[in-house]
Amino acid sequence: MKNYNSRTNRVINPIHYHHIQTSYLTLEDTIVVGKYSGKTLKEILLLDLHYVKWAMKNGVIRVSLSAMGVIRDEIKKHSKIYTDEEKAAFNERDNKRRAEFVKVKEKKGIPIFVFDENKYLINSFETIIQTAKELQLSESTISHAIKSKQLIKEKYYFAKSEFAFNIF
């Protein structure tokens, strides 16, 4: 005999399971949960747009298509539109940060050892960036080759140690 009161059996044998009807809120509907319970969606939209976005994203509320259109319009109204000067300043600042990151990456470089197809050491470089420039490969290709120990361009193996491919 099965225990139909257990939580698992209710899912497997849904005798006691009733489908929950999902209701979609309109702008005039009152929200019954959350920090704005008791207020209409329209009031909350005027008070705290970020809360409405958060609540929709996290499944606290579900809104109708008509309400969704109004919410999208509100989001567009409150979105900042950047001027060309602001975009250029942001890109310049971003490019400076990238350049600083590359400098740090080059300084903290781990030596890369290059082996031929017979697994004999042929060269070493101070960083993966130098290796990539010299051999005209991408850094990600070299990194992948180090991890997988695969032959690249049918002539190179890469390793972080000169003893990775000991041949005796």
Q: Which tens digits make up the pLDDT trace of 134-152? A: 889 888 888 888 888 888 8
Same domain, 58 and 116: no
Report if residue 50 sits inside a domain.
yes
Return d(Cα 26, Cα 13) in angstroms, integer: 35
Give the pLDDT confidence score for residue 154 in this predicted structure.
85
Report if residue 85 sits inside a domain.
no
Report if residue 27 sits inside a domain.
yes
Report if residue 103 sits inside a domain.
no
Return d(Cα 71, Cα 65) in angstroms, integer: 10
Q: Any long-range contacts for 126-131 (C-beta under 8 Å, 24+ apart)?
A: 129/102, 129/105, 130/106, 131/158
Q: Which of 58, 78, 98 is the last residue of a domain?
A: 78
Residue in the block written with tokens 């041949």: 167
Is 24 within 8 Å of 63 (Cβ atoms)?
yes
Same domain, 73 and 14: yes
Is 120 within 8 Å of 113 (Cβ atoms)?
no
Helix, strand or coil, per DSSP, at residue 126:
coil
- Pick out the chain residues at pLDDT < 70: 1-22, 101-108, 164-168
Same domain, 15 and 70: yes
Domain hosting 36: range is 7-78
Structural domain count, the chain:
2
Same domain, 27 and 69: yes
